[in-house]
Structure 1
Amino acid sequence: MLTIDPKRSLLLVVDFQSRLMPAIHDGETAVRNANRLIEAAKLIGIPRLFTEQNAKGLGPTVADIPVERDRLVHKQFFDACREDGFLDRIPTDAHVVVAGCESHVCVQQTVLGLLQAARKTFVVRDALGSRRPEDKETAIHRMERHGAEIVTVEMVIFEWLETADNPHFRPAIALIK
């Protein structure tokens, strides 16, 4: 299947942390778009998973992002896949939709880890952040070269909905307008 399968989807939200976000180029947009994905996922019934990198140093996830504490993975590795038990939380046939910061560090290394573990991975370019735009763009190109699909928030939401007859169509569309 070339589109994102909502029945196999999992939304992974990587490291939108309080001490990091003030330095992220256009960070408000990345946070806003990550929230759109989170709300759409809740509405449609897509499971969610969150990470925090070295929370003692980078602080907790920003207050604007509604982290579900029972779905939060604390990590020290930049690649979350290297943390004990992380991949056990992601089914082998999952379509993993990834948003987060920083694009060229934790997001990229986690995406490459997911691809190496044979997880189908979709990187949401308008829900990513890095301190410098060139780092973000370079990371997007590298992830794509290694097999990640590059998508946008709207693409994800419409693929999760599948049809205008979906009972969640109107409230989901309201999230992207």
Structure 2
Amino acid sequence: MLVIVDMQARLLPHLDGGERLSERVGTLLRAANLLDVPVVVTEQNPRGLGGTVDALLEELWSAKVVEKHTFDATLAPAFVDALPPAPATLWVAGAEAHVCVLLTVLGLLRLGYRVEYVADAVASRRAQDRAVALERAQQDGARLTTVETAIFGWLGSFRHSRFRDVLALLK
């Protein structure tokens, strides 16, 4: 399952690399849709921060969107209800790397999930916060990965019927 954390309209313009983040998360979402990877998306206080950015909305047709008011999404029952049973592998991306993404990753690890922290699909307002978040996630048991590694892992082989479609997303 792909977990996208708080890619919200009023948050992204303030992030270091927010535009690149939106692009990388969009690639993950398009690939997940092509490969039937389930997706859950969180929105932190959407009345205050706005909903998910417009650039990603068309990719959410198969996603479960969960509104939350906690920084750690695992404290929101609707989020936990949307997850497969542990110890499934969850790929996690979004914003901010050192707050909602990291706290959700730590919560998922406590619940017994295997977590792949998609390092090139997370951002924070400050680069140093992102760097510390990646280090902390790894120290606590998350595995760092990239958008392309996640996607090729979902494919498994160049013989996959959607290989060419997915490859086109990466060029």
Range class of TM-score, shorter chain: over 0.9
Deviation digits for residues 21-59 of structure 1 (CA, Å, limit 9, x no counterpart): 110111111110101000100101100100000111111
Query: TM (normalized to structure 1)?
Result: 0.92
Tell whether the 8 Å contact from 2:64 to 2:82 is kept in structure 1 after alignment.
Answer: no
Tell whether the 8 Å contact from 1:54 to 1:75 is kept in structure 2 after alignment.
Answer: yes
Tell whether the 8 Å contact from 2:17 to 2:123 is kept in structure 1 after alignment.
Answer: yes
Tell whether the 8 Å contact from 1:11 to 1:49 is kept in structure 2 after alignment.
Answer: yes
Number of the residue aligned with 1:6: none
Residue 129 (structure 1) shift: 1.0
Which of 53, 56, 73 does residue 62 from structure 1 map onto?
A: 53
Which of 75, 78, 90 does residue 68 from structure 2 map onto?
A: 75
Unaligned runs of at least 5 residues, structure 2: none
In structure 2, how many angstroms separate the alpha carbons of the residues matched to 1:145 and 1:45?
A: 31
Deviation digits for residues 41-94 of structure 1 (CA, Å, limit 9, x no counterpart): 010110010000011111111101123486100000000000123222212232
Moved over 4 A (4+): none
In structure 1, how many angstroms separate the alpha carbons of the residues matched to 2:136 and 2:40?
A: 23
Unaligned runs of at least 5 residues, structure 1: 1-9
Tell whether the 8 Å contact from 2:97 to 2:122 is kept in structure 1 after alignment.
Answer: yes
Which of 99, 116, 125 does residue 105 from structure 1 map onto?
A: 99
Which of 9, 12, 22 does residue 31 from structure 1 map onto?
A: 22
Query: TM (normalized to structure 2)?
Result: 0.95
In structure 2, how many angstroms separate the alpha carbons of the residues matched to 1:135 and 1:57?
A: 23
**Structure in which a larger fraction of residues adopt helix:** 2
The percentage of counterpart residues that share the same residue type is 41
Tell whether the 8 Å contact from 1:50 to 1:68 is kept in structure 2 after alignment.
Answer: no
